Amino acid sequence: MMPETSSDRAPGKRRDKSTGRLATYTAGLGFALLLTAGSFLVGKTGLFWPPGVPVGLAVLAIAQMGVHLVFFLHISTGADNTNNVLALAFGVLIVGLVVTGSLWIMMHLNANMMPPGAAMEMRH
């Protein structure tokens, strides 16, 4: 049992023990549905400027991850949540390094693997 005076909060635990718990999940579901619908709208229909679609999809996906973290996993900015947020920040840092690092290196390797003419066009 978690004492009320504890200085830390377990990930996924809510601070509000008595009120607004069902409402939190339902609000999260609503936001997630809206953002998912937005993703399909942006990705599937030709309504949007095509070069902007990947950026739009990325923004919607990151927003929905945020919604899931806040409303389903109850990660907040409170002082009792510092450990959870720091661990998350470290995870995000490593994920960012792995993904951007791989893409960056492989883009250069791809450029070097191309025939000389194509590779010359890739260089700035």
Partner 1 sequence: MNTAATNGDLLRIPAHDTPQESTGPGAQGPAPVEIVVAYGFWIFLLSDIIMFSALFASYAVLSGDTAGGPAGHDLFNLEHVAIETLCLLFSSYSCGLGALAIERRHLPAFYLCSAVTFVLGATFLGLELTEFSGMVAQGAGPTRSAFLSAFFALVGLHGVHVSIGLLWLLFMVAQVVAQGPRDYVLRRLHCFSLFWHALDIIWIALLTLVYLLGART
* Footprint of partner 1 (CB under 8 A): 1-3, 5-13, 21-22, 25-26, 28-29, 32-33, 36, 39-40, 42-44, 50, 53-54, 57-58, 60-61, 64-65, 68-69, 72-73, 82-84, 87-88, 90-91, 94-95, 98-99, 101-103, 106
Mapping DSSP onto H, E and C, the string for 47-89 reads CCCHHHHHHHHHHHHHHHHHHHHHHHCCCCCCHHHHHHHHHHH
DSSP 8-state code for residue 5: T
Minimum distance from CB of 99 to partner 1 (Å)? 5
| Residue closer to partner 1 (CB basis): 25 or 76 | 25
| Length of the chain as a residue count | 124
